[in-house]
Chains A and B, each alone.
Chain A
């Protein structure tokens, strides 16, 4: 089966996120007063062929642990969608 995997990677909470801060400042300058706690990360989409959804998820997790996310500085979330 084919699955579409969506990986969302964000800087680990607690680490300085200067990009998030810069975007937050810009939003406030545009009068979005209620905006706060902004973080900037990455979104990656991958087609994965796997026997079932659990297998696709396991593959995506291995990809994140090995390459897509840095275990020291980033956290990730995976969503799997059947195609």
Chain B
């Protein structure tokens, strides 16, 4: 059974939802405080949403230097799965595990509402249970979600297929499809290898039919059933 570490920073607030979503899909999940330095044989890591360190300085800027981050960087370098959701995505960008940055929403408002996102990469540990091009409706809750990067980085992300989730217009009334002004309507990206994924929307917040939809569940189904591609033996 896959063992998933859900990291707790001071100010995290989505870690119980993430924990529950993993367990509900048949995985084993445990919380790990940010002061720890060892991932305790976790197969995968979730950096949950919230407001680590009160978003002081910049969202994710201080959490990125938490003691656990060195272990997460090694874990990621080994090709093992890491997902950052919302504040977790901000931490991954601040740490350099993902390119770009998340800036204040173009409309300046904190937004808490559903968005429609299209899944554009399905060979990751977090999206393999989706069909390519499928659109799901899941919530956002953020004030700093405008994905920004240099033109070169954006072009690189697009050409290498690293845009994993993109906001799409399905005709949701009275709101813009792209909620925050993110470049290229980017809602989530991966690193080049695909094992590190960051996303602004919250799949863990809509992972139970009791809530009227379980549209986010398959992010966790994907993780629980993920089998790492066999490594090619090097001679």
Contact = CB atoms under 8 A, between A and B. Distances in A.
Contacts of A67: 57, 61-62, 65
A60 to B, nearest CB: 15
Interface residues of B, number: 20
A79 to B, nearest CB: 19
Contacts of A72: 93, 100-101, 148-150
Contacts of A16: 103, 106, 146, 181
Interface string A53-68: 0000000000000011
Interface string A2-24: 00000000010001101100100
A15 B103 CA distance: 10
B101 A70 contact: yes
B34 interface: no
A6 to B, nearest CB: 16
A73 interface: yes
Given A67-B65, A73-B148, A19 B104 contact: yes
Interface residue SS majority, chain B: loop
B107 interface: yes
B230 interface: no
Nearest to B93: A72
Nearest to B109: A18
A73 B106 contact: no
B94 interface: yes
Contact of B57 (A18, A68, A73): A68
Contacts of B181: 16, 18
A15 B150 CA distance: 10
A27 to B, nearest CB: 16
Nearest to A11: B103
A68 B56 CA distance: 11
Contacts of A18: 104-108, 181
Interface in A22-45: 22, 42
Contacts of B57: 42, 67-68
27 contacts: A11-B103, A15-B103, A15-B148, A16-B181, A18-B104, A18-B105, A18-B106, A18-B107, A18-B108, A19-B104, A19-B108, A22-B108, A67-B57, A67-B61, A67-B62, A67-B65, A68-B57, A70-B58, A70-B61, A70-B94, A70-B101, A72-B93, A72-B100, A72-B101, A72-B148, A72-B150, A73-B148
Interface of A: 11, 15-16, 18-19, 22, 42, 67-68, 70, 72-73
The 6 closest A-B pairs by CB, nearest first: A72-B101, A73-B101, A18-B108, A18-B106, A70-B101, A73-B103
